[in-house]
Chain A
Amino acid sequence: SYELTQPPSVSVSPGQTVSITCSGDKLGDKYACWYQQKPGQSPVLVIYQDNKRPSGIPERFSGSNSGSTATLTISGTQAMDEADYSCQAWDSSTAYVVFGGGTKLTVL
């Protein structure tokens, strides 16, 4: 079955730029999206269709997807961005929803 791999944790200093990766076989041929989840809360969609931001998501969140890696980038990271981030793709061969294992972002 199709799998997505994320680093367990990433850290960043306030105001800096951070990238979180999501790897999968030929992921660039699929669409990737990203969810932000803060403790005790439901996930929130922050990027869909590789690089589109839903209404209300700050411009500092951006996405890209090429080759085997999708990347979520947060520019000018703020303390409020500390959260778990999970990538997700749609496996077209099976129509399964596939999640990455999640990355804990710490803003030091």
Chain B
Amino acid sequence: QVQLQESGPRLVKPSETLSLTCTVSGGSVSSTNFYWGWIRQPPGKGLEWIAYIYYSGSTNYNPSLKSRVTISVDTSKNQFSLRLTSVTAADTAVYYCARLRGYTNNWYIDSWGQGTLVTVSS
């Protein structure tokens, strides 16, 4: 059974860059049947999709965050990563890494990391 684990700083200063890594075990980021993505959830609010990536490097981003977000994959380490630049307090949230399963126009998240709370504060 695949497991995903987020890692990275829990506290980031305003205007700086948030960087998180997701380590995948029990499965491979090089699998052809999955996308790998990031979702966040501000305290007390709903889920917000950030980005996803395919092992080949193909990506897609939430348009509301696209100008500040980069997602990347490292198949040699079986990891994928998120960078969010110029953060503000509005970026304070629990960040989840996730695996998307599906085909054509039917994609859903079948595995989630435990989530990590990232706080933006000076």
Contact = CB atoms under 8 A, between A and B. Distances in A.
**Most chain A beta-carbon neighbours within 10 Å: one of B46, B108, B113:** B108
B46 A45 contact: no
Contact of A97 (B46, B52, B113, B114): B52
Contacts of A30: 105
A101 B102 CA distance: 22
B48 interface: yes
Nearest to B62: A96
Contacts of B107: 90, 97
Contacts, number: 60
A42 B114 contact: yes
Contact of A92 (B48, B96, B100, B105): B105
**Most chain A beta-carbon neighbours within 10 Å: one of B49, B96, B106:** B106
Interface of B: 37, 39, 46-49, 52, 60, 62-63, 96, 100, 102, 105-110, 112-115
Interface of A: 1, 30-31, 33, 35, 42-45, 48-49, 54, 86, 88, 90, 92, 94-102
